[in-house]
Amino acid sequence: APILMWFRRDLRLTDHPALTEAAATGRPVIPVFIHDEVVEDYGPAPRWRLGEGVRSFAERLESIGSRLILRRGRACNVLEGLVEETGATAVWWTRAYDPPSVERDEAVKSSLTGRDVDAASRPGHLLFEPWTVETKQGEFYKVYTPYMRSVKNREVADPETAPSELAAPETWPDSDDLDDWGMGAAMDRGAEIVAPHAYIGEDAAQTRLATFMRDLIEDYAQARDYPGVEGTSGLSENLTYGEISPRTCWHAGLRARDAGKAGAETFLQELIWREFSYHLLHHTPRLMTGNWREKWDAFPWNEDERLTEVKAWKQGRTGIRFVDAAMREMYVTGRMHNRSRMVVASYLTKHLMCHWKIGMHWFEEHLIDWDPANNSMGWQWSAGSGPDATPFFRVFNPITQVDKFKADGYIRNWIAEGQDDPPEDALDYFRAIPRRWSMSPDDDYPEPVVSHEDGRQRALDAYQAREF
Ligand code: FAD
């Protein structure tokens, strides 16, 4: 009887434990992707990017004589229906860890198990399952550095090779047409703006890793901090949709370290940050929904999205150049440099005293590398409300950070106002934004909505008044 292989954020053939296992049985394998209740809640950019990932993955499956069956509906109902239609006796998938996916998967598991179907999850999204890492006291880690030390020398198995074929069922079940799903429909800035900046699919991810290891890893430890430099791997969009496995990246990092590449150790540590996010999210699902440190519930966060300052932040016109360049970069490319993410998050939560959830949700709508664990951890880290966080009283200075991180060129690349001949990227922003924002490259660049000095003082006063 066939095995239904349920794909979600694991759109790859290489190093996919559940798939390797299914292929090895010799039984027919029916790959399925469901536009389910979890996908229904994705923001516009993640949904578009996922759709393109699915398109590319379907081609990949066809190249080994298989297919990707597309269905829409509640995961539980769709899978029950497919089991009936195909006579499958097993449904396997790669484990997910974010609360909405966990809830969905538990429901699927209990319903299918009740029908005598072998419903089983396998690892593959992480290097270390979150419950396998614990402190000497048997607790989970709340701070990155000890977490990192405890896992960094662990043996990580070699990545598995892609199956060269998958046995097909006698008849294929019907499939929806991906184009009918309109995965890009909600992206009002239009997919054509973002698409040239994306690296979609398994082949692109592998090429990207190889290029990074050849050209960039040596200088990575320094170059990764400069937003104007292409100094990082760019693999986050591929990792988040599982187009490449963390093990593949990890082993490439180990080889680079063995070869004496200076940046390799830092790269491995960044991969561990991703593991740490998932570790925290697994143990404290509220990472995605509320202040990790509950005392922050008492902080006077602005939560009104209609505030002029919030609008200015979202629209890249706060008058703080580093912040605006970064927000525009995200609007056009669906990505933002890590340094810039820290700068805009600090400005929103400290200078503007806005709740980090406003920023987290805006990122969730606009990032093509949106990741439930990394995004929520990044925001709580920046806001000071997270378990391992930058202290609230350390307020980044978005003016001096320009020099410190050589962001002049980056700013020129993204801010058109005041330039006689602005670069295409900066102009793309104006092609992308909704007309109702009424912004033009010919405008005068705005004065700061809140200056560094005023914002910093106000935030520190509010912080000290509560004796945190
Ligand atoms: P590289 O520097 O090449 O790093 C390699 C990989 O390590 C990344 O692809 C990523 O998987 C992981 N990694 C690197 N830095 C971090 C980090 N600080 N935390 C966790 N994992 C990390 N990352 C996302 O993948 N999705 C998000 O939605 C996201 N939101 C963020 C929000 C805020 C406010 C902040 C401060 C950070 C956020 N990050 C997020 C983390 C980080 O900015 C990105 O992972 C990184 O910029 C991706 O670029 P890269 O792939 O070139 O990274």
Same domain (yes/no): 276, 392: no
Same domain (yes/no): 255, 302: no
Report if residue 347 sits inside a domain.
yes
Same domain (yes/no): 261, 227: yes
Is 333 known as a binding-site position? no
How far is the C-alpha of 324 from the C-alpha of 312, rounded, in Å?
9
Minimum-distance ligand 1 atom for the alpha carbon of 233: 3
Whether 364 is in the pocket of ligand 1, judged by its Cβ within 6 Å, is no
Residue with tokens 């960094």: 152
pLDDT of residue 259: 98
Report if residue 174 sits inside a domain.
no
Check residue 180 and report its DSSP letter.
G
Is 105 known as a binding-site position? no
Same domain (yes/no): 101, 10: yes
Whole-number Å distance, alpha carbon 338 to ligand 1 midpoint, is 6
Q: What is the CATH number of the domain that holds 355?
A: 1.10.579.10
Both tokens assigned to 370: 């949106």
Same domain (yes/no): 276, 389: no
- Nearest alpha carbon, ligand 1 atom 41: 374
**Residue of 125, 233, 269, 338 with the most ligand 1 atoms within 8 Å of its CB, for mutation:** 338
Minimum-distance ligand 1 atom for the alpha carbon of 372: 28
Is residue 258 helix, strand or coil?
helix
Cβ burial, residue 380 (10 Å; 0-12/13-18/19+): buried
The last residue of a domain, from among 260, 283, 306: 283
Q: For each successive 10 residues of the chain (468 residues), what is the average pLDDT?
A: 98 98 98 98 97 98 98 98 98 98 98 97 98 97 97 98 97 98 89 94 98 98 97 98 98 98 98 98 97 94 95 98 98 97 97 98 98 98 91 91 96 98 97 95 98 95 82
Whole-number Å distance, alpha carbon 326 to ligand 1 midpoint, is 15
pLDDT of residue 203: 98
Are 434 and 315 a contacting pair, CB within 8 Å? no
pLDDT of residue 390: 84
Beta-bridged to residue 99, according to DSSP, are none
**Residue of 274, 364, 390 with the most ligand 1 atoms within 8 Å of its CB, for mutation:** 274
Domain residue limits at 303: 294-465
Whether 374 is in the pocket of ligand 1, judged by its Cβ within 6 Å, is yes
pLDDT of residue 189: 82
DSSP result, 191-246: HHHHGGG---SHHHHHHHHHHIIIIIGGGHHHHTT-TTS--S--THHHHHTTSS-H
Whole-number Å distance, alpha carbon 240 to ligand 1 midpoint, is 10
Minimum-distance ligand 1 atom for the alpha carbon of 271: 7
Same domain (yes/no): 313, 454: yes
Structure ipTM over 0.85, yes or no: yes
Number of domains in the chain: 3
Q: What is the CATH number of the domain that holds 254?
A: 1.25.40.80
Task: Give the global pTM.
Answer: 0.98
